[in-house]
Amino acid sequence: MATAHDFSFTRIDGAPLPLADFKGKAVLVVNTASHCGLTPQYEGLEALYSRYRDRGLVVLGVPCNQFAGQEPGSEEEIAAFCTTRFAVDFPLAAKTEVKDEGRHPFYAWAEEVLGPDAVPVWNFHKILIGSDGAAIAAFNPRVEPLDEALTAAVEKAL
């Protein structure tokens, strides 16, 4: 059976980003956008990452332009926005499709394992991966990064 560690994204700077690099760590994969009403969640994601990174949590931002064109910029523009506006320190992938036929294979796998809850319905959808690469849970975009249910799942994953 496949795990998240079998998939690879591309870093926002163009370098490979294999999820196998995160073996032994929990990973929260979040499709992001710079021009969305939920964009302030970057602040909560950075706070979550800061709180749990030393215990083994990685937050992975996956910019996506599939929801109302709310991530129109280049990789360079996205990276600059995230670092200057929200001091994002967690890894960012290059712009990626997360739904429909052209979606990244990670998202097809997550749906296969977790069911329809794993399919992003909007920006800032969250998928929690365990340290062994197993998909643990999906959280809809309205669930804030520091929400009690999300932090409890992260705690359990660590």
Please give the positions annotated as active site.
36
Whole-number Å distance between alpha carbons of 78 and 105: 22
